[in-house]
Amino acid sequence: MRPPLFLADLGARAMRMLDPEDAHRLTVKAMARGFGPKPRIPVDPRLAVSVAGVDFPNPLGLAAGFDKNAEAVDAALDLGFGFAEIGAVTPRPQPGNPRPRVFRLVEDLAVINRYGFNNDGLEAVSARLEARRARGIVGANLGVNKDSKDPIADYVSGVRRLAGLVQFYTVNVSSPNTPGLRALQSRQALEQILRAVIAARDALSQRTAVFLKIAPDLADADKTDIADAARACGVDGLIISNTTIARPADLRSAYAGEKGGLSGAPLFAPSTALLGEFHKALGGSVPLIGVGGVSSARDAYKKILAGASLVQLYTALIYQGPSLVARILTELPDFLDADGFAHLREAVGSGAR
């Protein structure tokens, strides 16, 4: 029997007493075995949105990093998410970096992780996706193996193996925990990867959207290169942004100096500012997905005003529990009403006009 949301929130609070990685694994395993809540959330039809030919029932998605191995996809969708992104998945299984590699910055409502693309590999992940009853919108975050000699081939293999199993691919060139990965955001490297991935996608019978996930730590020249490459290659969307290697001076946690990618509340402002920059640079020609520090309906709405058609979250669930999904979906229409928008699509980017 699935627990009601308030009990699930208490469970999430109890999990914070455990080691962060152990809590993560236990949560995924519990959800995979049917112990996640399944709330009845009446979602306002004004929140439905179409992006890159995919019809999303609502704009709120579970970000990559939680369900790395596609073990709890349906349980995540049952929470009310409009879509869920699994991975990052690499062609071959890999253990990732040594433990400890996840740290809760409780005082900052943040997390630092240096997992390093630990996952079961394409074959195991694709087998799990094949075994589920196809429903809901699912995407796959594609990574490269740490010892890969051919990153392009790694991305292409993900496209081919997961064909027909997901509604979008995310090309991840922005994790800070795989050496050399962020160097692939240069214009030349990025265009080579995107052209190869899109060519592999186009060779398949079923068209699947291709998104690109970028880092928040970009120089102005990098931003120009990425925007130009996205336009030139015909990418279907940009996910802005991954975790940050920056460490704001006002972090209070004793773990603030740990290496890895910082997510959660401190990432909200810089990632939202970057979102607005890309909305302006691209003029709405490429759909944007906003992620980073979302912990309320107001945060999600600010991402939408900055240019996001879709919004993702993950870290805030650790601190607020699964009822956060229902709260955001219930409260978002109030923000549309307050600003006089008849539909969410009218609000996208309106804050930058």
pLDDT at 119 over 90: yes
Q: Which of 126, 175, 241, 271 is catalytic?
A: 175
Write down the pLDDT at residue 286. Answer: 98
Write down the pLDDT at residue 177. Answer: 85
Cα separation, 182 vs 308, in Å, equals: 23
Residue 205's SS3 state is coil
CATH 3.20.20.70 assigned to 5-352: yes
pLDDT at 107 over 90: yes
Strands, E assignment, the chain: 49-51, 54-56, 60-62, 83-89, 102-105, 110-113, 137-142, 168-172, 209-214, 237-240, 261-264, 288-291, 308-313
Cα separation, 311 vs 289, in Å, equals: 5
Write down the pLDDT at residue 353. Answer: 62
pLDDT at 53 over 60: yes
pLDDT at 329 over 60: yes
Over the stretch 187-220, which tens digit does the pLDDT of each residue have?
899 999 999 999 999 999 889 999 999 999 999 9
Write down the pLDDT at residue 1. Answer: 53
Average pLDDT, the chain: 95
Write down the pLDDT at residue 208. Answer: 98
pLDDT at 124 over 90: yes
Write down the pLDDT at residue 134. Answer: 78
Over the stretch 229-274, which tens digit does the pLDDT of each residue have?
999 999 999 999 999 999 999 999 999 999 999 999 999 999 999 9
Strand order in the sheet with 261-264: 102-105, 110-113, 261-264
Write down the pLDDT at residue 19. Answer: 97
Over the stretch 265-314, which tens digit does the pLDDT of each residue have?
999 999 999 999 999 999 999 999 999 999 999 999 999 999 999 999 99
Confidence of residue 184 (pLDDT cuts 50, 70, 90): confident
Give the side-chain half-sphere CA count within 13 A for 16. Answer: 18
Which of residues 9 and 140 earns the better pLDDT score? 140
Question: What is the helix, strand, coil percentage profile of the chain, to 5?
Answer: 40, 20, 40
Over the stretch 136-159, which tens digit does the pLDDT of each residue have?
999 999 999 999 999 999 999 999
Over the stretch 275-289, which tens digit does the pLDDT of each residue have?
999 999 999 999 999
- Nearest alpha carbon to residue 192 among 171, 163, 213: 171
Q: How does strand 49-51 pair with strand 83-89? A: unpaired
Taking residues 102-110, what's their average pLDDT?
Answer: 98
Do the Cβ atoms of 276 and 322 come closer than 8 Å?
Answer: no
pLDDT at 130 over 90: yes
- Nearest alpha carbon to residue 12 among 2, 24, 1, 74: 24
Write down the pLDDT at residue 12. Answer: 85
Confidence of residue 9 (pLDDT cuts 50, 70, 90): confident
Residue 175 known to be catalytic: yes
Give, in order, the Cα–Cα distances in Å from 315 to each of 106, 127, 157, 195.
11, 27, 29, 32
Write down the pLDDT at residue 5. Answer: 76
Write down the pLDDT at residue 352. Answer: 67
Which of residues 352 and 240 earns the better pLDDT score? 240
Q: Where are the domains of the chain?
A: 5-352
Q: DSSP state, 212?
A: E
Write down the pLDDT at residue 10. Answer: 80
